[in-house]
Copies of this chain bind each other. A is one copy, B any other.
Amino acid sequence: MSTLHTVNKSPFSHSTLASCLSICQPGDALLLIEDGVYGALASSPQAEQLRAVHAKGVRVYALEPDIEARGLVGRRLDEVELSDYAGFVRLSSELRCVQSWY
């Protein structure tokens, strides 16, 4: 029983991603969407924390259309995989519950 977490706020201006990362557990997945995709940058204030949860078994994704929109292609952390909307659907069906952090 694991949870999909979505985060849609920039970690440079909101503490949303930090809150989410403090709750994520191994087996959970995190999907960065909308302004949340700025959390995929190496310069993100939560980059270290994101790497740490990834290392302990949280899969981390960013929504590709949002990455493209914001000019972040080629700028993301290695730990962050891209997902399209179908991937978002797949994640939300694989995992039991979805917590939206906004």
- A residues adjacent to B (C-beta < 8 A): 12-16
- Closest B residue to A13 by beta carbon equals B15
| B12 near A13: Cβ-Cβ < 8 Å | no
One complex includes copies of this chain to the number of 2
Contacting residues, chain B, for A12 (C-beta < 8 A): 15
- Closest CB in chain B relative to A5 CB, distance in Å: 17
| Least distance between A23 CB and chain B CB atoms (Å) | 15
Chain B hits for A14, CB < 8 A: 13-15
CA distance A13 to B13 in the complex (A): 8
- 6 A-B pairs whose Cβ atoms sit less than 8 Å apart in the complex: A12-B15, A13-B14, A13-B15, A13-B16, A14-B14, A14-B15
Q: How far is the CA of A29 from the CA of B14 in the complex (A)?
A: 24
Chain B contacts for A16, CB-based, 8 A: 13
Give complex CA distance A13, B17 in Å. Answer: 10
Closest to A12 in B: B15
A13 → chain B closest CB, angstroms: 5
